[in-house]
Structure 1
Amino acid sequence: MRELTAEQIRASFVNASNAEIERMTLPGLHETVWSDREFLGWRDPAGSARGYIVHWVDDRPVGIMVRAASSPLRPGIGAMCSLCHTPQPSTQVVMFSAPRGGEAGRDGNSIGTYICTDLACSIMIRILPATSELNLHRDELIARRAAGLQQRVTAFTANILKTA
């Protein structure tokens, strides 16, 4: 992922009001290893249900605000993030909803999907099992997982931006 500035991040959001963007606390950008990210994802450090995802679409950053569901999945079952496709305990995956962009979002229309609770999918795809079913080199396997993650994040964002 290409590096982003605070100004680029704040200007990128397609489904948040100006007031929500002003209240948004940004992550430590100087600590971000951009080359190990397919998107920048973080939760509101104030403990609210808000989360944020920013990624590049062509030559512009696109940001979406998401909100975690108040009721978690049942403990003790398995779950899978729809973005990174990593199977995890249910306590580490949550339903996030995102208002659609534009008038549809202002009318209350939203999209929901299960995502890693901490929005750290870029880290999750780099944690590999001891042996790979595909018998691929580590770098090739991570590259495949990264490509899939980028494709699914782009599709999720495109779905939020749909007007019909």
Structure 2
Amino acid sequence: MLQPTESAIRKAFVNCTQGEAKRMAVPNDLGTRPWDDLDFFGWRDPAAPQRAYLLAESDGKLVGVALRAATHQIGRVRRSMCSLCLTTHLGDGVSLMTARKAGPGGRQGDSVGTYMCSDLACSLYLRKKKHAGPPMPDPLPLPERIDHVRAALAAFLRKVNE
């Protein structure tokens, strides 16, 4: 993924108003991110942890989606799998992320969701640059896992834009 500017990030969002995009907390360390290793860029809002943002390249342009993370049940230890990168996490490492749909559907309250790594670092888990716990056997070779992430993300973005 190519490193976007803050301005390009704010303009890319399809499921929030221009005012919401202007107020969103964009990370100030964009220059230090491992862009070559990212299939998409995702981050959580430090001031509002239930808010998350995802930025991806789709059909040659940047597409941003504002997300909401579901709250977790405290005290319940379980293993969950991210539907994008197929990484398993213990505890709250996977969250149901919902996105308001773009356009009229979103204005009527329609949303879509999928289970994602809570820190949105799927690309780094795939490439073993970040670890979710004890190593587990990979279900697919790395190129196929990368293709799976990109296909699953494209399907999610299509649902947001329907």
Normalised by the length of structure 2, the TM-score is 0.88
C-alpha displacement of 1:144: 2.2
Share of identical aligned residues, percent? 37
The residue number in structure 1 matching 2:2 is 2
Find out whether 1:16 has 2:16 as its counterpart. Answer: yes
Question: CA distance change for structure 1 residues 72 and 152 in 2, over 3 Å: closer, same or farther?
Answer: farther
Are the counterparts in 2 of residues 73 and 94 from structure 1 also a CA contact under 8 Å?
A: no
C-alpha displacement of 1:155: 0.8
The residue number in structure 2 matching 1:154 is 154
CA RMSD of aligned residues (A): 2.0
C-alpha displacement of 1:40: 0.4
C-alpha displacement of 1:64: 0.4
User: What is the DSSP-based 3-state SS (H/G/I as helix, E as strand, rest coil) of the residue aligned with 1:147?
Assistant: helix
- CA deviations on 1:62-83 (whole Å, 9 max, x unpaired) are 0100001123487222111111
Partner amino acid for 1:92?
A: G
The residue number in structure 1 matching 2:68 is 67
Are the counterparts in 1 of residues 72 and 92 from structure 2 also a CA contact under 8 Å?
A: no
Question: CA distance change for structure 1 residues 74 and 158 in 2, over 3 Å: closer, same or farther?
Answer: farther
Find out whether 1:46 has 2:47 as its counterpart. Answer: yes
Question: CA distance change for structure 1 residues 155 and 130 in 2, over 3 Å: closer, same or farther?
Answer: closer
Question: CA distance change for structure 1 residues 74 and 152 in 2, over 3 Å: closer, same or farther?
Answer: farther
Instruction: Give, in whole Å, the separation in 2 of the partners of 1:93 and 1:72.
Output: 12
Are the counterparts in 1 of residues 94 and 115 from structure 2 also a CA contact under 8 Å?
A: yes
The residue number in structure 1 matching 2:92 is 91
Instruction: Give, in whole Å, the separation in 2 of the partners of 1:98 and 1:90.
Output: 22
Are the counterparts in 2 of residues 73 and 91 from structure 1 also a CA contact under 8 Å?
A: no
Normalised by the length of structure 1, the TM-score is 0.87
C-alpha displacement of 1:132: 5.3
Instruction: Give, in whole Å, the separation in 2 of the partners of 1:36 and 1:25.
Output: 22
Partner amino acid for 2:102?
A: G
C-alpha displacement of 1:87: 1.3
C-alpha displacement of 1:60: 0.4
Gaps of 5+ in 1: 135-140
Instruction: Give, in whole Å, the separation in 2 of the partners of 1:12 and 1:2.
Output: 14
Instruction: Give, in whole Å, the separation in 2 of the partners of 1:32 and 1:160.
Output: 26
- CA deviations on 1:20-59 (whole Å, 9 max, x unpaired) are 1111111221111111000000000213311001110121
- CA deviations on 1:88-147 (whole Å, 9 max, x unpaired) are 11311111110000010010000011111111111111228476576xxxxxx3322212
